[in-house]
Structure 1
Amino acid sequence: MEEGKITEYNSVSSLKLQGKGGFRATSFIFGLLGLENMGFVAVMVSFGLYFSFVMGFDLSGSANTLTNLMGSTFLLSILGGFISDTYINRFHTVLIFGPFEIIAFALITIQAHYKSLQPVCLEPNCISGKKAIFFYASLCCFALGGGGVKGALPALGADQFDQKDPKEAKALGRYFNLLMFSSVIGGAFGVTFVVYVSTVNAWWKGFLISLVSVTLGFIFFALGKPFFRLQQPAGSPLTRIFQVIVVAINNGKLQLPENSEELYEISEKESDSSQPKLAHTKQFRFLDKAAIHPKTGEPTAWTVCTVTQVEEVKVLTRMLPIIASTIIMNTCMAQLQTFSVAQGYRMNRFIKKFEVPAPSVPAIPLIIMCILIPIYDMVFVPFARKITKHPSGITQLQRVGVGLVLSIVSMAVAALVEIKRKHHSLKDPLHPIHLAWLGFQYSIFGIADMFTLVGLLEFFYKEAPVGMRSLSTSFTWISISLGFFLSSVLVDIINSVTKKRAPSKKGWLVGLDLDQNNLHLFYWFLAILSGLNFLNYLYWASWYKYKTDENVDPKTKPNLGDSIGLSKSVSVSGVPLLKPSESAVAMPTINESSNGPTEEANENSAAANRG
């Protein structure tokens, strides 16, 4: 390894002496996330009504446009994750995509301010011509900028903690909780103050506040560069994946050795000591054929792969069912940001003489989460940690499972509330029920999101190979993205099917009048679908095997069976909703650095180069 390639690295210990990393560095990430999310969430919850009343969309058109925008934003996080893993470090990736988000807010503000840029519609969904180009250009910049930032930012913050250090291993779990907390704080301010300005004063004024907030957030973030532990990208993770697949296919006719130790692996002297070797697992045995050593010729990247490289692909493959099992929950979340806001518009929104803007309804779960996240982090996690010996208190898959159960409850409650709202509105339209009724479904789902989102981010970061952590954490956003896209598809399918089947020949979700729709049936449908999805998740969570490193000191490695009375299986999955992962328990002693090569590795490399 050449010295020029490791100039941005330092050993963890020397970085600590220089004051790099830790919560001092992540405070700049929390600041950016709070300010950026204040604008992001305010715009997202406002767009439902803005698209209907200003841009001329009907109810389903507005909902689908919003969910497609959200889906595209989260989907493009994969681009930010890939670039930061392959070409540019995570810090600079954020700064590259940030300006696109700023431009988007500027374009949205300009179009909301000038009537000449807004459509005059005699029928729904009439926007066209230059106005449509201006409108969709702002949405494209919004998706590209917001998605790229989300793809790199969480992993950058997690890089500031050394998983070899027991204290920093615990701090990593707290980091993800604080990441959620800062996001919630910003979002709560956005859906109260900023949304109030948008709906009561003028749309463009609220969007302008969001523009200023996001711009200040990126400026503040840029000032934190001296405090970050920056990692150089490790090369294209896709190339490593394709190599395993191609070599496994080419070796398809070869027989696997009976002893897995005969599979190809680079020795300690030849390998980069900063990259931990992964232990062989028995799942996906076909991929093991990529590690069969060729009988003739020298091994090359496209003729044989190491066991570690094969296991990296296995890890990513095992993650796919987990991603798929959380999509339905995010489809439910999409409804709370579209149809539930429309519900709030048809309800009594007065608190004494103050009228609450309908898009401010999501403030209810955000405020509750502002209270619960510190309690969870400071009370529940230390208590659970004493019982489970897990640095995060409970495993990430357990946390996700709790969130999925709560999302089912939330949709069932949403259906009951809509039944009550619709019945009362048809009976006495001049005196609708109070907005506070929506607080039940929002609060339950807010708690569900607190468990699931943080659990997924931490799960994908810890389980991912070192060189794929941005890409892997993007899987969380991909799940959200697919959830929003699925929401649009389900709305269209439900409308199409019910239009043919219903006696009225009208779809469940057609038009702007909720009293003439059957939104409650749609919520019941999502509750049932979520229940089936949870059973699917239980199966895959039980099947999942956590990755384990070979570089674990057997003297210091804790015995799960002795410590908490569980099975002593080496590759712990058992039932992950009941059992903690061995890799997580043993994390403090794993000889892994998430912060680049150590000084010892640098010295060995330099000595080899001199030799």
Structure 2
Amino acid sequence: MGAKKTDTHFSNTPFMANEMSNIEYGEFENWRGEKAEPAKHGGVRASSIVCVVEVLENMVFLSNATNFVAYFLKSIHYPAAQSANMVTNFMGTSFLLTIFGGFISDSFLTRFKTFIIFCTLELLGLILLTIQAQDHRLQPGPNSKPSKPQEATLYTGLYAIAAGVAGVKAALPAHGADQLDHGNQRLISAFFNWFFFSLCFGGLIASTVMIWIEENLGWNWSFKISVVTLSVALCIFAMGFPIYRFKRPGGSPLSRIYKVFASAIQNRKVSLSEAENRLGISGEMRNHEKLRFLNNALISDSITATEIEETKTFLGLLPIFASTIMMNCCLAQLMTFSVQQGNIMNRSLNKFKIPTQSLSVFPLIIMLASIPLYEYFVGLFGIKSNSGGKLNMFQPLRRIGLGLALASGSMAAAAIVESKRRAAANDDNVIISVFWLGWQYLLLGISDMLTLGGMLEFFYSEAPDSMRSMSTALSWCSTSMGYFISSVLVTISNSVSGHFGKEWLGGNDLNHARLDLFYTLLCILNFINLLNYIFWAKRY
């Protein structure tokens, strides 16, 4: 897989034959800097360590994301709205900064070192907040606002965690996939499926065990347990050091992309056909080449064919990335409006009342169950390759497309259920069961499994070797941008509907709001986005 992107007509031209850099063709090394041996380094055993670490890391991240609201309210004495916004900003920043973590991993450090450094940074941030939570001198007094030093302590710890999470989530999946044979795409696909399973399993522990601990033993126990858990995760990951295989960073990919664009612009007056003829590129290959205007950059002796292909490949990933953002707007509803719906629905199960914070357990269980089922059906209905082996009939692009289609369907189901819930509450004064939300949870859960898992696999497999961490980070950036755009859509919907009478989502009473119309809007936008995705996927 690693050589696929550079096996192009550029590498076959006499002009470029000796100019190819070793960015793409670099061998994997062991910890001594020697060539890695397949029998001793890498493999399923090494990648399995990554999955175990992801369970613990995501449990820490999500349990603290839910714990922070209580901490900000009870210890730092921030208002409820400000506390909620701080958590939203924390999560959004964590995911957005993954692109920075991926850049560091690809450019300057191995993915192993990136994880160690950023996980240590996250751990230090947790320790700082744990100390503040236990030391009353670092907290404001009763009915008092925090002082500047106290706020500085809080924000230093909080955003040290955010930066650490960003580096960890950028480097960890790429490091795990690096351990496997890139010639076996089915193995790479299976890894990302089980990595997603580990991510969801960590979330399930955070939504059940950690919430029980916070409610029964006190919210401050979350910090202590998180410190211990993340320390264990760091130790487990480090213990795999002798069996891992590593790839040296190839320098800044962004500077190479900039250099290609600068050279293409500088040589823009040179006829494209003339430039390609001078380089010995055949007409047949020219006709099938994407982003041909970048070929002019090859006039410069300082630009290699590998750098051209690297630039084209990364640019080709961006439309796919942009097409997945709207789906994550739907996921944001599970954390916001779906929870509000659950609060005013019948949550009783015999004599047990389901806690509101645990409503997220439903989509997590559905996602966890969908991974083994997906793997089973892939093995059962896999298609035959030319070599006789089975290939995944759900290639990443098809898998993402199916996930986007299910996202639109989930919003249609959500609109129907909310219409039924609202009518029952207003007309018949009946509170329907919270399990009616299961339809949107089911469809969105499977959609997330297909889309995020497919994105991780697609961006890793298609990206140049020198940009795999940064490209994989696009999956997390899509999640972050989806949450931010969801807030924008709510604001726009209220503004527009307010001009025509009453805001759809105005006030705090969902029985008098029109959440069903907002869900319908998301369904339509996701369907349009699906058509946009199909357009770009066919052109890829």
TM-score range for the pair, normalised by the shorter chain length: 0.7 to 0.9
Hey, what does 1:566 align to over in structure 2? none
1:539 aligned residue (521, 535, 538): 535
Deviations, residues 360-381 of structure 1 (Å, cap 9, x unaligned): 1121122122222112113324
Correspondence 1:162 to 2:181:
yes
Where 1:203 maps in the other structure, the secondary structure is coil
Q: Contact conserved, 1:173 with 1:458, CA < 8 A, in 2?
A: yes
Hey, what does 2:297 align to over in structure 1? 290
Hey, what does 2:404 align to over in structure 1? 404
Change (3 A) 1:189 1:476: same
Hey, what does 1:392 align to over in structure 2? 392
Hey, what does 1:30 align to over in structure 2? 51
2:265 aligned residue (235, 243, 249): 249
**Mapping of 1:246-395 within 5 angstroms?**
246-257=262-273, 260=276, 262-263=278-279, 281-292=288-299, 299=301, 301=302, 305-386=303-384, 391-395=391-395
Where 1:416 maps in the other structure, the secondary structure is helix
Correspondence 1:77 to 2:73:
no
Hey, what does 1:557 align to over in structure 2? none
Q: Contact conserved, 2:170 with 2:473, CA < 8 A, in 1?
A: yes
Q: Contact conserved, 1:199 with 1:357, CA < 8 A, in 2?
A: no
Change (3 A) 1:492 1:465: same
Q: Contact conserved, 2:99 with 2:473, CA < 8 A, in 1?
A: yes
Deviations, residues 62-105 of structure 1 (Å, cap 9, x unaligned): 66544433221111111111111111110110111112322444
Change (3 A) 1:118 1:438: farther
1:97 aligned residue (100, 118, 124): 118
* CA positional deviation for 1:36: 1.1
CA separation in 2, counterparts of 1:471 and 1:309? 16
Relative to the length of structure 1, the TM-score reads 0.75
* CA positional deviation for 1:443: 1.8
Q: Contact conserved, 1:97 with 1:148, CA < 8 A, in 2?
A: yes
Give the partner amino acid of 2:101.
Answer: G
* CA positional deviation for 1:264: 7.8
Hey, what does 2:170 align to over in structure 1? 151
* CA positional deviation for 1:493: 3.0
Give the partner amino acid of 1:139.
Answer: L
Give the partner amino acid of 1:236.
Answer: S
2:525 aligned residue (526, 529, 548): 529
The answer to which of 47-56 and 487-496 deviates more is: 47-56
Q: Contact conserved, 1:112 with 1:118, CA < 8 A, in 2?
A: no
* CA positional deviation for 1:382: 4.9
Q: Contact conserved, 1:68 with 1:484, CA < 8 A, in 2?
A: no
Change (3 A) 1:537 1:263: same
Q: Contact conserved, 2:456 with 2:472, CA < 8 A, in 1?
A: yes
CA separation in 1, counterparts of 2:517 and 2:267? 52
Where 1:16 maps in the other structure, the secondary structure is coil
Give the partner amino acid of 2:338.
Answer: S
* CA positional deviation for 1:420: 3.5
Hey, what does 1:171 align to over in structure 2? 187
* CA positional deviation for 1:216: 1.8
Give the partner amino acid of 2:190.
Answer: R
Hey, what does 2:486 align to over in structure 1? 487
Hey, what does 2:230 align to over in structure 1? 214
Q: Contact conserved, 2:494 with 2:505, CA < 8 A, in 1?
A: yes
Change (3 A) 1:383 1:460: same
CA separation in 2, counterparts of 1:112 and 1:409? 44
Change (3 A) 1:191 1:373: same
CA separation in 2, counterparts of 1:384 and 1:530? 29
* CA positional deviation for 1:461: 1.0
CA separation in 2, counterparts of 1:103 and 1:511? 41
CA separation in 1, counterparts of 2:359 and 2:149? 34
Deviations, residues 5-54 of structure 1 (Å, cap 9, x unaligned): 97855445xx223x210111112211110011122233345667877888
* CA positional deviation for 1:416: 2.7
Correspondence 1:230 to 2:222:
no
Where 2:245 maps in the other structure, the secondary structure is coil
CA separation in 1, counterparts of 2:392 and 2:352? 42
* CA positional deviation for 1:514: 3.6
Hey, what does 1:457 align to over in structure 2? 456
Deviations, residues 555-611 of structure 1 (Å, cap 9, x unaligned): xxxxxxxxxxxxxxxxxxxxxxxxxxxxxxxxxxxxxxxxxxxxxxxxxxxxxxxxx
Hey, what does 1:417 align to over in structure 2? 417
1:16 aligned residue (26, 35, 38): 38
* CA positional deviation for 1:191: 0.9
1:142 aligned residue (143, 149, 161): 161
* CA positional deviation for 1:513: 4.0
Where 1:441 maps in the other structure, the secondary structure is helix
The answer to which of 148-157 and 215-224 deviates more is: 215-224
**Structure with a larger share of its residues in helix:** 2
Relative to the length of structure 2, the TM-score reads 0.84
CA separation in 1, counterparts of 2:406 and 2:126? 34
Give the partner amino acid of 2:472.
Answer: T
Deviations, residues 101-154 of structure 1 (Å, cap 9, x unaligned): 2244445556667888479889xxx98866654554443223211111111111
Structure 2: give runs of 5+ residues left out of the alignment: 1-20
* CA positional deviation for 1:535: 1.0
Deviations, residues 430-458 of structure 1 (Å, cap 9, x unaligned): x7433322222122111101101111111
2:60 aligned residue (34, 39, 55): 39
Where 1:462 maps in the other structure, the secondary structure is helix
Give the partner amino acid of 1:441.
Answer: Q
Hey, what does 1:447 align to over in structure 2? 446
* CA positional deviation for 1:475: 1.3
CA separation in 2, counterparts of 1:325 and 1:35? 30
Change (3 A) 1:419 1:134: farther
* CA positional deviation for 1:523: 2.0
Change (3 A) 1:437 1:7: closer
Q: Give the paired residue count.
A: 508
Q: Contact conserved, 2:204 with 2:364, CA < 8 A, in 1?
A: yes
Q: CA RMSD in A?
A: 3.4
* CA positional deviation for 1:500: 4.6
Q: Contact conserved, 1:48 with 1:341, CA < 8 A, in 2?
A: no
Where 1:445 maps in the other structure, the secondary structure is helix
